[in-house]
Amino acid sequence: MNLALLAAAATGVQVGAAIVATRYVVAEVPPLTLALLRYAIGVATLLPFAWHALRNGRRWPQATHPRRDLAAMAALGIGQFAVLIALLNFGLQTVGAARGALIFSLFPVLTLLLATAAGRERWNTALAAGVALSVAGVMLDVVPRLAAGGEAPMAWPGALAVLGSALTGAVCSVAYRPYLQRYPTLPVSVLAMGASVLFLAVLALGEDWPHRVLQLPGRTWAVVAFIGASSGVGYLAWLYALKHESPTRVTVFLALNPVTAALLGWWLLGEHLDGWVLGAMVCIAAGLWLATRGGRARSG
């Protein structure tokens, strides 16, 4: 059993659930404030478990350049946990969940291209076909809904923001691996998210977040708490997967996020699962099988 791929799959499911929850509260909580709360809660969730490792950081034998590595991991955390989520939250204000999922599904394609260009992975026909099939599955899920007119007209600034979010995630996923090979996953998760919280706390002052968070109703706080706690655990799983697997084999599991949204809609809201959704699930399952079959792709 490949625990890294199971962690990647869990993250794909978590992302889908978080997107649904974000759409539920994004009208009440501005995008930067929501990102700040998401990762402040995520850090609070993981910190008790990471405290011992953080206190003993100087004893890590791999830490040959700790200050330089700390700065790099903080920058990657700001990108992965602040810039990515802020762009995604901004985009979801004007782009519906279906369009958002479709655009964000380019994440593994961008990761494959960047990892190959950087020499971190060799081009692999099965891997590329798996990525393509997964993206096709996402398109089968969301394109019929777009064609039926169930979504608001395309807002290009929002669409570009979601695309920028996917590109930011791809860059960070490729760049994380050297640091994840040298340091334990749990403290890296907390350090990265902690840096993003400090960054967002300053950036979100323009949204008057100290006043806004005091005015949020209990129902909204419950949803935000779910987004934050699940994100903390989800990104720990994500970094664990990136530590042990190639970036593309990990990010391809993000194709599970629209399927998760569809299943949650069927289970919680009584939404109909039509043939398009079932076909999407088959394509995504086949794509994941192709992308993860055989040995690991070379990753530097």
Angle at 251 between CA 245 and CA 252, to 5 degrees: 105
Please say whether the beta carbons of 240 and 185 come within 8 A.
yes
pLDDT at 268: 66
- pTM (global) more than 0.85: no
Every domain of the chain and the residues it spans: 3-292
pLDDT at 269: 56
CA distance 184 to 62: 10
pLDDT at 93: 76
pLDDT at 286: 83
Task: Supply 196's token pair.
Answer: 């993003």
- The helix or strand, by DSSP H or E, that contains position 219, with its residue range, turns out to be helix 218-244
pLDDT at 141: 66
User: In 3D, which of 164, 175, 189 has the Cα closest to residue 107?
Assistant: 164
HSE toward the beta carbon, residue 254, CA cutoff 13 A: 29
Cβ-count burial 14-38 (b if 16+ within 10 Å, e if not): bbbbbbbbbbbbbebbbbbbbbbbb
Please say whether the beta carbons of 127 and 193 come within 8 A.
no
CA distance 244 to 195: 24
pLDDT at 41: 95
pLDDT at 60: 54
Please say whether the beta carbons of 175 and 118 come within 8 A.
no
pLDDT tens by residue, the chain, 300 residues: 588 889 989 988 888 788 778 777 878 888 889 889 999 999 999 888 877 666 655 555 555 567 888 899 899 989 987 888 778 878 877 777 666 766 777 788 888 888 888 777 777 787 788 888 877 877 776 666 666 655 555 567 888 888 899 899 999 988 988 888 888 888 888 888 899 999 999 989 999 999 989 889 999 999 999 999 999 999 889 889 988 888 888 888 877 877 777 777 677 656 666 777 778 778 878 888 787 775 554 444
pLDDT at 298: 47
Please say whether the beta carbons of 18 and 238 come within 8 A.
no
CA distance 76 to 93: 25
